[in-house]
Amino acid sequence: MPTYVLTSKCKGCMECVRICPSDIMHIDPGQGRAYNIEPSMCWECFACVKACPEAAIEVRGYADFAPLHHRVVPTRTPERIEWKITMRDGSLKEFAYPIRTTPWGSIRPPQESPAPEGSALGSELLSFEPDYLAVEALPTLPRPASGGT
C-alpha cells in the first residue's frame, strides 16, 4: 500500500524524507513537494504518514491485491495513536491505543548512573544486573565437560 502525497496539503517540509526507512520519500524538484519515488519498495510502515505535520500523506493499498475505496488514517500524539479505518462499504472503525507511559525525553542515559567497578567488566553481568533481572543472581550452568552431543 504505497503512500501518496496530497498536493493541497504538502508544504515540502522534508519530515517524510528524514524519516522514511526505505529512502523513497523525496521532494519533487519541480513543485517542491514530497512524493513516493519507488512504490515497490514501500513497506506500508506509515512512518512518513505519522510524521507528516500537515497530514498530507496517506496510503492506497497495493494495486495488485487491494481494491480501491478504503482509508486507514492514524493521528499520533505524544501519548497515544488514534486510527480511523474506512471499510469499502463506507463504515467507519475507530481505535485508540497508548504508545508510551512516560514523557518523551525522560530516559536516563547509562552514563548518568555510577560507573561500574573495573573488575565487573570481566563478569557475565550486564549493566544494572542482577537488580533488573528481578531474581537473586544471573543463572549459569556447569560447562559440558567435553561437549555433549
Partner 1 sequence: MEDGRPSQPKVVDCDILIVGGGFAGCGAAFEARYWGRDLKIVVAEKAAIERSGAVAQGLSAINCYMGMRWDENKPEDFVRYVRNDLMGLSREDLVYDVARHVDSTVHMFEEWGLPIFTDPQTGRYVREGRWQIMIHGESYKPLIAEATRKAASEVHERVMVTHLLPDARDPHRVAGAVGINVRTGAFTVFRAKAVIVSAAGASHIYRPRSAGEGSGRTWYPPWATGSAYALLIQMGAEMTQMENRLVVTRFKDGYGPVGAWFLLLKAVATNAAGENFEVNRLPELRERVGKYADAKPMPTCLRNHIMLQEIQEGHGPILLHTERVLDTPEKVSIGWEDFLNMTIGQAVTWASQGIEPTKTPSELILSEPYVMGSHAVCAGAWTSGPADVAPDGYQWTYNRMTTIQGLFGAGDTVGGSAHKFSSGSYTEGRLAGKAAVAYLRDHPDAPTVPEGLLDSLQQNLFAPMERYESRRGLVTAGTVNPEILYPDQGLHRLEKIMDEYGGGVGSNYTTNAHLLERGLAHLALLRKDLEDVAARDLHQLQRAWELQHRLWTAEAVLRHTLFRQETRWPGYYYRSDFPKVDDEKWHCFVNSVYDPGTGQWKLFTRPYHALF
73 binds partner 1 per the rule CB under 8 A: no
30 binds partner 1 per the rule CB under 8 A: no
The CA distance from 55 to 13, in Å, is 12
Do 25 and 17 touch, CB atoms closer than 8 A?
Answer: yes
47 binds partner 1 per the rule CB under 8 A: yes
28 binds partner 1 per the rule CB under 8 A: no
CB of 10 to partner 1, least distance (A): 19
* Interactions with partner 1, residue window 102-121 (CB under 8 A): 102-107, 109-111, 113, 115-116, 121
What amino acid positions are annotated as catalytic residues?
A: 43
Nearest to 84 by CA among 99, 70, 74, 76: 74
- Choosing from 33, 67, 75, 119, the residue that interacts with partner 1 (CB under 8 A) is 67
Do 12 and 32 touch, CB atoms closer than 8 A?
Answer: yes
